[in-house]
Amino acid sequence: MSLRLGDTAPDFTAETSLGTVNFYDYLGDSWGVLFSHPADFTPVCTTELGRTAALREEFVKRNVKPIAISVDGVESHNNWITDINETQDVSVQFPIIADEDKKVSALYDMIHPNASETVTVRSVFIIDPAKKVRLTLTYPASTGRNFNEIVRVIDSLQLTDQHKLATPADWEQGNDCIVTPAVPTEKAKELFGNVNEVKPYLRYVNQPK
């Protein structure tokens, strides 16, 4: 059964490019981004892993730990990392899971038989500190993932977990937010200051600092 939003992310212990890793222990009290790759030495995934490494400081600021997975082995992963570092001008410091037996892929429903019987699809899971799945995305093999969007979603989740707000289409850090329907307008004014009431159900406020 596929994972749904709000489900508890399955725990696992696996061999990785950084040694044996228990997923829950690795995350600790951090957010996590788990993303899968069909195989090592694939061109699109090489750029994605490079982009993830380049965003290291952005992830650290948000208390987020990335972890990747591919069905190839540890030795292959380490050789691939050498290529990634060279071609993308980065230093990959997060683990890549060696899922040769596809156990983790099965836990996270990463094998889609109508796409391929043998390799993982290119999925993304954002997992919060309570180990709940907060976002799932699955990309076609030909389209590289948008890591700006992944960071944007993390920003939105962390903001809206803290405040009774939602974020509108194309929202980015610093843009106005939307008051959730459960909050009366007078209460929203107490919480957030000025409220721009376009419609009774569509009310904008400045993003809290």
* Predicted pLDDT at 79: 98
Looking at residues 53-80, what average pLDDT do you find?
97
- Residue 177 pairs in a beta bridge with 205
pLDDT at 87 over 60: yes
pLDDT digits over 94-116, tens only? Answer: 999 999 998 998 899 887 555 45
The answer to whether the CB of 35 falls within 8 A of the CB of 125 is yes
* Predicted pLDDT at 61: 97
pLDDT at 120 over 80: no
The answer to whether the CB of 30 falls within 8 A of the CB of 130 is no
Looking at residues 4-30, what average pLDDT do you find?
97
Give the ranges where 41-146 is alpha helix by DSSP (H).
43-54, 56-61, 74-88, 103-107
**Residue 95 identity:** P
Establish whether 45 is a catalytic residue. Answer: yes
pLDDT at 18 over 90: yes
* Predicted pLDDT at 117: 46
Per the prediction, the chain carries an average pLDDT of 93
* Predicted pLDDT at 129: 98
pLDDT at 34 over 80: yes
The answer to whether the CB of 69 falls within 8 A of the CB of 96 is yes
Looking at residues 176-201, what average pLDDT do you find?
96
Looking at residues 49-71, what average pLDDT do you find?
97
Give residue 107's Cα distance to chain centre.
17
pLDDT at 118 over 90: no
Among residues 9, 27, 34, 45, which one is catalytic?
45
